[in-house]
Structure 1
Amino acid sequence: MAGNNRFTMTLPPLNGKNYERWQVHMKVFFRYQEVLDVVQDGFQTVGEDAIEAQRSLFRECKKRDCKALTMIHQCVDDSNFEKIADFKTSKEAWDNLRRCYARAEKVKNVKLQTLRREYELLHMKDEDTIVDYFTRLRSLTNYMKGCGESMKDQLIVEKVLRTLNSKFNHVVFAIEESKNLEDFKIEELQSSLEAHDKE
């Protein structure tokens, strides 16, 4: 193997959650395999009256395109393969995946904006118990994380302390005075508040 210039490359398959990262890897791989131009731009077919040089160029482009399409097929999971199985060229398959994930990303961003608004407006209702409030809060933050939002414990703890109803004011004051909110975990806050809620 010492004199061989080939190397094997293991690429993570496109799985529905990693499109941005996957397409960066694939473009580098295509460039290395000298097929990126065919994937991005496609290639021209030749007519019946084409000269031999044109036919030869077409055969070479077709071969490079098959190579690229094979790479795409090998680097997608089963559900993504179904999206591209019927396409005959690498450009068609590549463009279809790009369109699919552009729509998915747009939908995710719209959903995330709605969830952020909901999070901003979230507060403890008078009839809520601590368990009720934390259940709503955790459900919302988990959805946000699922859409790619980074949610640090400290920010969630601070949100809870700001949005509890007034019967917890003395507890909030005590926690803010005695605890380092940077290290205070949501679970600790919930336990502490549940103990006061039962009093």
Structure 2
Amino acid sequence: MDDHVISTNKIPRLLGHENYIKWKVLFEAAVNYNDTELWASIKYGPYVPSDAPNANQVLERQMKRRDDKALSMLKLGLSWEILTSVNHHTNAKAMYDAVVEMFKGNVELRDIKKDILKQQLDCFKFKEGERLKFVLQWFIAIVNEIRTTDLQISNFELNKKLLSSMTGEWYTASKFIKEKVNFPNFNLDDVISFLQAAEHEIIKNNIIKEERPSFWYPML
């Protein structure tokens, strides 16, 4: 099979805000896999016919076909509702930029969202007796939202924040994790795995609540 034949059932489909980030990453990967120059048409701009008298007509036609193909692939990657909102754009870059703007919002709104998320992360804290799974749901939700923005917070900072937010009953487990030699290289999943492994012993020695934490906040 020709590597440049695009299978329409393998193009990720943008359905809405809930899958925008995943779609953006996978769509770029799908385009690049088929033809890196297709992605160049989307990212850097549409084909512009040359007005030079000695222009290479074969090359011109190839560039035009590539730009048309990139536009078609983008259309196939959008739900009908989204496509109807951007279908007036006649080249791939203009349509892609419109989709990105639609889901990322304007600069002011993005800055407000980052401020709110930073505040939520700063205010994050365990409460005595809360079940780990409920508190982690909140923390992971904040982190996932942060990762949809350009707010730069390293894994090391997130890990330190999580462990410093633990209550006294988690002191030994937190200290054990932070003192591991490779702790600076841990990702968040590593820290969560250690905490989950330690929870059984903590439950034996403490009365742990089963209900959702009282400080549960809906995300943006």
- Please tell me whether the aligned partners of residues 16 and 80 of structure 1 are also in contact (alpha carbons under 8 angstroms): no
Structure 1 ranges of 4+ moved more than 6 A: 50-59, 133-136, 149-152, 179-182
Give the alignment of 1:79-90 within 5 angstroms. 80-90=82-92
For 1:80 and 1:191, the matched residues in 2 are separated by 52
1:38 Cα deviation from its structure 2 partner = 3.5
Q: Which residue of 2 aligns with 1:16?
A: 20
Q: Which residue of 2 aligns with 1:113?
A: 118
1:25 corresponds to 2:24: no
User: Which of 47, 64, 75 is 1:43 aligned to?
Assistant: 47
Q: 1:109 to 1:83 in 2, by over 3 A?
A: farther
- Please tell me whether the aligned partners of residues 41 and 66 of structure 2 are also in contact (alpha carbons under 8 angstroms): yes
The percentage of aligned residue pairs carrying the same residue is 13
Structure 1 gap ranges (5+):
163-171
How does the TM-score come out when normalised to structure 1? Answer: 0.55
Q: Which residue of 1 aligns with 2:151?
A: none
For 1:6 and 1:123, the matched residues in 2 are separated by 52
1:98 corresponds to 2:100: yes
Aligned pairs, how many? 172
Q: Please tell me the root mean square deviation across aligned C-alpha atoms, in Å.
A: 4.8
Deviations 1:99-152, CA, capped at 9 Å, x for gaps: 345548946544431221111xx364xxxx735x97984563243144156777
Q: Which residue of 1 aligns with 2:129?
A: 130
Q: Which residue of 1 aligns with 2:206?
A: 193
Asked which structure has the greater CA Rg, the reply is 1
1:93 Cα deviation from its structure 2 partner = 0.7
